[in-house]
Structure 1
Amino acid sequence: MQRRAPSKREGNENGFTVPPGTFAIVFFLFFSSCATPSPYMAGDSTSVGYQTTSAPHSSGSTSVLPPTRPDQAKHWLHQIEESQKQNVDSLPYAVHYEADTLDEAEPLVQPDSPANDKIRVFTDKTFAPPPEVETRDSDNWNELEFVNAPRFFDDMSRGTLLQAIDRQLSAFRFANLDERLRLGSRTVTKRDLKETLIAFRRLLVSGLSPEEFSRAVEEQFEIIEAGKGRRGRKRMQFTGYYTPIVDASRYRSHEYSYPLYRKPKQAPTRRVIWTQPESNRDYGYHLSSRTRNLLLTRKEIDGDYVLRDRNLEIAWLKDDLDRYFLHIQGSGYLRFPDGTVQAVRFNGSNELPYKSVGRQMIKDGVITEGEGSMQGIKAYFQRNPEHIPRYLFQNRRYIFFELADQGPTGSAGVELVPGRALATDKRLYPGGGLAFISATKPVLDENNRIIGWKPFSRFVLDQDTGSAIKGPGRADLYFGVGDAAGVAAGHYNQHGKIVYLLRKK
């Protein structure tokens, strides 16, 4: 049967028909326009691809438009940095202490408060916990001359190696063992790393002589060369880091006036962003929930005091240089006037890139290459304190801290054993991997002065990373806690070799 066309009267009764696709587009645009701007809108560094402009002939109204030229995006990023002080104003203020009552003010961190019952505090002479593993069985390792030693000769005690392995195995208990990681040009799983440590530990406690142990390692493990260069001639540049002990106070005073901050909470934002049409789908306007990065620079935090009195201080230090080098190391111990020592660790950063102050000073000619160590930089600033802001503020990266209930930990949360931990670029090398290194190390006298250098080799665990450790040819060796470790780490810059071990299938 032929269907008749509806009359005009019937069309009016049914109403005007809107295509579903058109309705969806109109509804989405209407919903996007209702997104409430965040007070951090101007500072949302992760939502690059949009800009907020004032509508002409209006007061306070805004519209979200995609940038049309690269210079507009550059200008917009410049506005982000200029607006940081205003963005911080939304943080809550702490109680204001008058100058004449600073010494009597209540500390933000109470040592006897119930909240800190889990904090492990050590006295001045026992700032680090004693080794938990018996080490007498490893004394025979150190009696051999290095030049006549087997290939896998270790210059440290066997007990410290067992301690490092056990801590890493404890961390693997809570890890996704199927996660894949880079090891140079190949990939491994965390299960491979765990099985390697279990097999190596079994071999380590088997009672073999150093020669027998070295032969067994070569038979049971795959030896994977790492570093930079051609195969068979790869080299690794080793530098050092350590855990400083810094004089501090729980109170702000005229003597202790340099604060350590914990990281401010990041502000979530909701924004309409423009996605460039790089493909034939999924481009245009999108409603996106992002987290705003904290773009405050070192100058704004330490020079303009934009975070002062906002309940972010965890302690105050005596010396600005001690604070800066604590930032460089990433963790440390705070030594309080009552003799107790409290651990602090990395709590985040402002996500800005690291710049070497020592390298800039060498470039400017104010120090020589030989004075580029931590000790040489400190000596220069002690002679020229007026240059401290000029150079320190050039490193815009800023580190935040938190109180810790254990000693120095690596990037995976494992407590580090001095001499047994290595920091590498985790884009290239696996966290928790077993490695063997050979290079030269400093020899110190009783006054912590370097009197010579000698070759060494040892097994280490790849357990840390750092903002300055980038690329296949860079690694940072952890020297431990205190002044002696600081002298060794501060002067350490040596080339050597590194291989990773994997259990043969």
Structure 2
Amino acid sequence: MKIITLGLILFTLLWHGGCALLPKMIRPAEVRPTTKLPVADLENRSQLNKAIERQLRVLKSKSLPDKLRQFAGQTLSQELIINSLIRFQELLNTCQDADELNRRIGEEFDIYQSSGGPGGKVLFTGYYTPVYQACRIRQGEFQYPLYRLPPHYQTLDLSPLRSSWKNITITVFVDGNGLVRLPPSRREIEECKVYAGQNLEIAWLADPLDAFLAQVQGSLIVEYPDGQRQFLNYAGKNGYEYTSLGAELYRDGHLELNKINMASIRKWFRENPHRLAEYLNRNQSYVYFLPQEDGPFGAGGAVITEWASIATDKRIFPIGGLALIDTKIPLLDNKSNLIGWKKHTCFVIDQDTGGAIVGPGRVDIYMGAGNTAGQMAGYQKQEGRLFYLLLRHLSSSPRWAAHTRE
């Protein structure tokens, strides 16, 4: 494990301009005002009410840091986020139909559309909470651990060093002698067993790919031999850059671009088990978990809700943001085979983030827990549009009109 001083870390970042360790800042305009909002289908009304109530409970109980209230480079007031949700919920439950709701929103809310990624498109993927059989101790086929966050991890805020590093952080480990260490990579954790003997294991799984995918999802439910279930929620990560398993298989010519999904990835590794460790270790990012009685929790501390919660880049979009997504979702038969796509235009609450969700052109839809949700999330890969709504009398429209990040 590398040992360095804090001063050396900061010197390296400043000398190299952050190119090696810091994500690139997004410079084009990220949202634009619009008066055109698609009419939602309201199929998720009950889940949406639940998501709003869960989010309001958190927002009313604690102040969110500025970095979780970003909207295209501006910091929203918590009051604006709260009141936008309250007024929307009132309209959601009193309007006669979707057309009336759409009209009232146009009268009372400012609407902004994400500029998207290249070509102006927003890519919608899906995520879920997997349920895995597990053991509390290492035995039999259960050989692959899930770890709790090691002690003495610290996240350093680099914002004071440069204006262009707003909301940029780096994760380090400070040992008992005050030395600053870069956290171990996935390869060091898996192959060098750097956590052996530290009693950091929460549970053991039977499949290394399942353990890897649990980290990609960020939370899971484990079921022990005695039937007890436990939520393992996201606790932190080692700070290394995320590398997509599907993208690596495509780059090496093993999967076609339009056929990358969870089913095809699992199938390829079943046929090539000797290549699994090699590909898993290409993703040096590593996620740690926290055992809890409820979950899964989003980045702002609220429990997320199936089909009503999304994850976006929190450098751009706010926790608790009221949004509308316009895309397509998978249609599956009773054997979980993909048979088509269904238009999906729904209001959602922005409650989460993810290592692969970067920029204004990426959204992850939370699809629930268990196998069916996992199948749908595995297939989900469709373009669409993303909109945000801010209560008009509390927002200031002109300041959003031509904003770009520095």
Bin the TM-score by the shorter chain.
0.7 to 0.9
SS across alignment from 2:134 = strand
Alignment-mate amino acid for residue 49 of structure 2: L
Change (3 A) 1:359 1:157: closer
Asked if the contact 1:235–1:496 (Cα under 8 Å) also holds between the matched residues in 2, the reply is yes
Asked if the contact 1:155–1:456 (Cα under 8 Å) also holds between the matched residues in 2, the reply is no
Question: Distance between the aligned counterparts of 2:195 and 2:65, measured in 1?
Answer: 42
SS across alignment from 1:48 = helix
TM-score computed with the length of structure 1 as normaliser: 0.65
Hey, what does 1:182 align to over in structure 2?
Answer: 70
User: Is 1:374 the equivalent of 2:334?
Assistant: no
Question: Distance between the aligned counterparts of 2:109 and 2:321, measured in 1?
Answer: 13
Instruction: Tell me the alpha carbon deviations over residues 88-117 of structure 1, each in whole angstroms, 9 at most, x when there is no partner.
Output: xxxxxxxxxxxxxxxxxxxxxxxxxxxxxx
* Identity among equivalent pairs (%): 36
Hey, what does 1:235 align to over in structure 2?
Answer: 121
Hey, what does 1:477 align to over in structure 2?
Answer: 365
Hey, what does 1:48 align to over in structure 2?
Answer: 8
Instruction: Tell me the alpha carbon deviations over residues 290-334 of structure 1, each in whole angstroms, 9 at most, x when there is no partner.
Output: 783552111111122121231111111111111010010010100
User: Is 1:317 the equivalent of 2:205?
Assistant: yes
Hey, what does 1:344 align to over in structure 2?
Answer: 232
Number of residue equivalences? 351
SS across alignment from 2:8 = coil
Hey, what does 1:307 align to over in structure 2?
Answer: 195
Instruction: Tell me the alpha carbon deviations over residues 201-247 of structure 1, each in whole angstroms, 9 at most, x when there is no partner.
Output: 111222523322221111111111113269xx943111111110111
Question: Distance between the aligned counterparts of 1:47 and 1:292, measured in 2?
Answer: 9
Structure 1 position 187, deviation (Å): 4.1
Instruction: Tell me the alpha carbon deviations over residues 134-155 of structure 1, each in whole angstroms, 9 at most, x when there is no partner.
Output: xxxxxxxxxxxxxxxx943234
Asked if the contact 2:237–2:287 (Cα under 8 Å) also holds between the matched residues in 1, the reply is yes
Asked if the contact 1:412–1:464 (Cα under 8 Å) also holds between the matched residues in 2, the reply is yes
Change (3 A) 1:308 1:437: same
Structure 1 position 449, deviation (Å): 1.6
Hey, what does 2:137 align to over in structure 1?
Answer: 251
Structure 1 position 189, deviation (Å): 1.4
TM-score computed with the length of structure 2 as normaliser: 0.80
Q: Which moved more, 1:175-184 or 1:452-461?
A: 175-184
After superposition, residues 359-370 of structure 1 pair within 5 angstroms as: 359-370=247-258
98, 101, 126: which is aligned to 1:210? 98
Change (3 A) 1:178 1:409: closer
Hey, what does 1:63 align to over in structure 2?
Answer: none
Alignment-mate amino acid for residue 488 of structure 1: M
User: Is 1:169 the equivalent of 2:56?
Assistant: yes
Structure 1 position 47, deviation (Å): 3.0
After superposition, residues 44-83 of structure 1 pair within 5 angstroms as: 44=4, 46-48=6-8
144, 159, 183: which is aligned to 2:46? 159
Query: Structure 1: which 5+ residue stretches go unaligned?
Result: 1-39, 51-65, 72-76, 78-149, 269-274, 276-287
Question: Distance between the aligned counterparts of 1:384 and 1:501, measured in 2?
Answer: 47
Instruction: Tell me the alpha carbon deviations over residues 174-195 of structure 1, each in whole angstroms, 9 at most, x when there is no partner.
Output: 2337958332265421211111
Structure 1 position 45, deviation (Å): 6.0
Asked if the contact 1:47–1:290 (Cα under 8 Å) also holds between the matched residues in 2, the reply is no
Alignment-mate amino acid for residue 97 of structure 2: S
Alignment-mate amino acid for residue 275 of structure 2: H
Question: Distance between the aligned counterparts of 2:135 and 2:315, measured in 1?
Answer: 38
User: Is 1:260 the equivalent of 2:146?
Assistant: yes
Alignment-mate amino acid for residue 376 of structure 1: S
Hey, what does 1:466 align to over in structure 2?
Answer: 354
Kindly indicate whether structure 1 or structure 2 has the higher relative contact order, using CA contacts under 8 Å at least 6 residues apart. 2
382, 390, 403: which is aligned to 1:502? 390
RMSD of aligned residue pairs (Cα, Å): 2.7
241, 247, 254: which is aligned to 1:353? 241
Change (3 A) 1:395 1:205: same
Asked if the contact 2:117–2:362 (Cα under 8 Å) also holds between the matched residues in 1, the reply is no
Question: Distance between the aligned counterparts of 1:410 and 1:319, measured in 2?
Answer: 26
Structure 1 position 264, deviation (Å): 1.3
Asked if the contact 1:246–1:334 (Cα under 8 Å) also holds between the matched residues in 2, the reply is yes
Instruction: Tell me the alpha carbon deviations over residues 258-283 of structure 1, each in whole angstroms, 9 at most, x when there is no partner.
Output: 11111211278xxxxxx9xxxxxxxx
Instruction: Tell me the alpha carbon deviations over residues 361-384 of structure 1, each in whole angstroms, 9 at most, x when there is no partner.
Output: 111112222342122111111111
After superposition, residues 3-22 of structure 1 pair within 5 angstroms as: none
User: Is 1:326 the equivalent of 2:237?
Assistant: no
188, 198, 202: which is aligned to 2:86? 198
Change (3 A) 1:291 1:225: farther
Alignment-mate amino acid for residue 467 of structure 1: G
Q: Give 4+ residue runs of structure 1 displaced > 6 Å after superposition.
A: 288-291
SS across alignment from 1:343 = strand
Hey, what does 2:308 align to over in structure 1?
Answer: 420
Asked if the contact 1:178–1:189 (Cα under 8 Å) also holds between the matched residues in 2, the reply is no
